[in-house]
Amino acid sequence: MKQVQIGELQLGGGDLFLLAGPCVIESYDRILMIGREIKGICERLGVPYIFKASFDKANRTSFDSFRGPGLEKGLAILQRVKEELQVPVVSDIHTEAQIAPAAEVLDVLQIPAFLCRQTDLVYGAGLTGKTVNVKKGQFLAPDDMQNVVNKIREAGNENIMLTERGCSFGYHNLVVDMRSLAIMRRFGYPVVFDGTHSVQLPGGAGTSTAGQREFIPYLTRAAVATGVDGLFMEVHDNPEEALSDGSNMLYLDRLEALLRDLLDIHAIAHRGGR
């Protein structure tokens, strides 16, 4: 397994790591509060932590849905959070034009699932030398992600992470095939499980995406038992008033107990170096 360098963190060496934060930047004060709480939890549990929040949610269901502060303001906020919390930060990029300014601030450039086959976007992100986290498209088989890996490697970049976030299953539903985690780990790069987007019901609320957050613990436990290197979770102090993805975000006050369970499972799954 290749290890990925993100700031001072070296990931993929056996310790379970976490990418977490609110879905979208709502305000500086709120995301800073959420990030500070998650950082404290991770420090208590010895979990390497990367803060996540999107500066722009470009693939919302409805034209009228809240998208975030945008590239310039959003990156400025993420820079402040990064400096205040002293943790790496990750956010989505959606266009080639966003790559260069995003790479000035972000430690991890994230390719959304719907864009994982956009060659110029993936290759351009790879050219920055930053770690690139690609979410597997809901329409792809896990084997297909080898082609995505190869595009980043063509850019001379080996700092790659792959994230599973569920596959389309009929209308308004996703399922997770746990085999995909094992298959993608064969490529030799850290694999992350997205425990919150995997419980989405895309478009399930008509003009917005619905979700079933009650299944987050079940899927994350199964993924860690299967064998993953990291977890991605969107977390909010009050998901009911969140401006995006509220129905599938984890309550902040439930994160620590869940992480404790997951660390116990991870220790068993990796017993004997497996």
> Residue 218 burial (CB < 10 Å; 0-12/13-18/19+)?
exposed
Q: How far apart are CA 63 and CA 60, in angstroms?
A: 7
pLDDT tens per residue across span 42-59: 999 999 999 999 999 887
- The fraction of the chain above a pLDDT of 70, given in percent, is 98
For residue 185, report the phi and psi dihedrals to the nearest 5 degrees: -65, -20
Q: What is the mean pLDDT of residues 80-108?
A: 98
Does residue 83 contact residue 51 with C-beta atoms inside 8 Å?
no
In this prediction the pTM is 0.95
For position 200, what pLDDT does the model report?
87
- Would you place residue 60 in the very low, low, confident or very high pLDDT band (cuts 50, 70, 90)? low
User: Residue 256 is encoded by which pair of tokens?
Assistant: 């620590």
Q: What is the mean pLDDT of residues 187-206?
A: 90
Q: What is the mean pLDDT of residues 207-224?
A: 91
Provide the CATH number for the domain formed by 4-273 in this structure: 3.20.20.70
For position 273, what pLDDT does the model report?
55
Does residue 194 contact residue 165 with C-beta atoms inside 8 Å?
yes
- Would you place residue 208 in the very low, low, confident or very high pLDDT band (cuts 50, 70, 90)? confident
Closest CA to 50 of 6, 92, 114, 83: 6
For position 55, what pLDDT does the model report?
97
Q: What is the mean pLDDT of the chain?
A: 94
Q: Which runs of consecutive H residues, i.e. helices, occur in the chain?
A: 28-45, 71-85, 99-105, 119-127, 145-154, 179-185, 216-226, 255-269
Domain ranges of the chain: 4-273
Q: Which residue carries 């906020």 as its tokens?
A: 77
